[in-house]
Amino acid sequence: MATEKKIDVLWDTDIGRDPDDFLAGCFLLSRPEIRLRAITIAPGDRDQVALAKFLLRENGHNDIPVGTVPDRKKGKKSVGGCHLRLMDWYKAEPLADADGAGWEILANALRAYPDAILFTSGPLNNVGDLLRKTDVAV
């Protein structure tokens, strides 16, 4: 069997209420040919960050940065339903802080991995900020 080329992926998501984004993350992390390099979340409430970091931690990827839309009021609850029950079952922290602004996380990842694929499954707030604030090619 030929060795497959690794694909660097940046994931921009609105993970939280619906299971689709969580399952997309499970897929990305389960594929041996995919190297997830960054996650950015819109809007990026602290419970969304906790859910993303829980997903990363449970899959052995504590080294992947998680960014959010900056200057957003982070008091709203954006995670619900099955995600809350899952995190409660695993006794995961319900709130976490992002590793930085989403646009900066994307810019740094694109500089480090210029051939990376941007996979989006949510509103493009972080991508829009990236395009407005940098000259990094997407």
Would the pLDDT of 1 be above 50? no
Residues 115-124 as b/e (b if ≥16 CB within 10 A, e otherwise) read ebebbebbee
Q: What mean pLDDT do residues 21-47 have?
A: 95
pLDDT band at 59 (very low <50, low <70, confident <90, very high): very high
CA 25 to chain centre: 8
Per-residue pLDDT reduced to its tens digit, 73-113:
666 788 988 898 999 999 999 999 999 999 999 999 999 99
User: Which residues fall within 8 angstroms of residue 39, CB to CB, at 6 or more apart?
Assistant: 10, 11, 12, 13, 25, 52, 56, 64, 65, 66, 67, 105
Q: What is the pTM of this model?
A: 0.93
Q: What mean pLDDT do residues 42-67 have?
A: 95
Q: Do residues 8 and 114 lie in contact, with contact meaning Cβ atoms separated by under 8 Å?
A: no
